[in-house]
Amino acid sequence: MDSVLQIQGLAKNYDGFHLKDVSFRVPKGSIMGFVGENGAGKTTTIKLILNLIKKDDGIIQVFGLDHIEKEQQIKEQIGVVLDESYFHENLKPVDISKVMKNIYHNWDESLFFEYMQKFKLPKDKIIKEFSKGMKMKLSIATALSHNPKLLILDEATSGLDPIVRSEILDIFLEFIQNEERSIFFSTHITSDIEKIADYITFIHEGKIIFSEPKDDLLYQYGLIRCGNHDFNKIQQADIIGYRKNQFGYEVLVKDRQKMERKYRDFIIDDTQIEDIMLFYVRGEAQ
């Protein structure tokens, strides 16, 4: 399967934080959810992909091209939406279109104003007067209006109300209907990822914990709820993480079918992506 984004052994060192041996790939025509708590390394990884900061080690390829040697060629084909609007607040959307026309060879002004109409955004109002949701829609309209093959999103739905978030997620799903397009979506909102992602990469403290198809994750992991006596029956090697509460234990296990055959007396419940993340981050390990 072709990859639009491939990262191998990526490293970046700061005082007090290290991005270590980050490796994953985004298959063409898919949505990759890049999840992790605040400070895990998501934004640092995106800045490295965009060559906004210099890597200490590793390989980054976008469309099979080196992200530094072919930077201009790559950036013509990607759209980027960050968690904050970086447009000057005294500009109007009509001004943004004029600026972008001089940056992107394939800027589509008519498409931009189609998105403006679709998002119900005023063309002649200064950005300072836009709400956060309106600014995010403007950023998305701008990112989509040069027909990118890859959309890179950094917390694009953070801080938005549920209705606006749902509307924006639908836009991303519509964008991906063209199988030549892909999305790399960094967020800490796991419900958004569960709704639209095909693959999930989980980063914690600068390290990749897993990078797998979403459906495989939900199918493979399970949650055992049991008392103290039954907890002692579970072999340490089978426990990914556990949490103790007043009623007993919650235990995260992997390879659910194998666990169901091995522990026939136990009920193994379904898990959500958030459960899996929380057990890796906050659960205790045997």
Predicted confidence (pLDDT) per residue in 64-87, tens digit: 999 999 999 999 999 999 877 778
Residue 243 pLDDT exceeds 70: yes
The beta strands (E) that lie in the chain are given as 3-14, 17-27, 31-35, 57-62, 65-66, 78-81, 150-154, 182-187, 199-204, 207-213, 222-226, 241-245, 248-253, 268-269
Superfamily of chain region 3-212: P-loop containing nucleotide triphosphate hydrolases (3.40.50.300)
Vertex 216 angle, CA 7 and 211, to 5°: 15
Evaluate whether 34 touches 186 at the Cβ level (below 8 Å). Answer: yes
Q: Strand 78-81 vs strand 57-62: parallel, antiparallel, or unpaired? A: unpaired
Evaluate whether 183 touches 156 at the Cβ level (below 8 Å). Answer: no
Amino acid symbol at 79: G
pLDDT at 113: 93
Question: Would you kindly state where each structural domain of the chain is located, as residue ranges?
Answer: 3-212, 221-281
Show Cβ contacts of residue 106 under 8 Å, excluding neighbours closer than 6 positions. Answer: 76, 146, 147
Predicted confidence (pLDDT) per residue in 187-239, tens digit: 888 889 999 999 999 999 999 999 999 999 999 999 999 998 899 999 999 99
Q: Strand 182-187 vs strand 31-35: parallel, antiparallel, or unpaired? A: parallel
Confidence tier at 125 by pLDDT (50, 70, 90): very high
pTM for this predicted structure: 0.90
Distance (Å, rounded) from C-alpha 182 to C-alpha 3? 10
Amino acid symbol at 156: A
- Say what percent of the chain tops pLDDT 70: 98
Residue 155 pLDDT exceeds 90: no
Distance (Å, rounded) from C-alpha 204 to C-alpha 19? 10
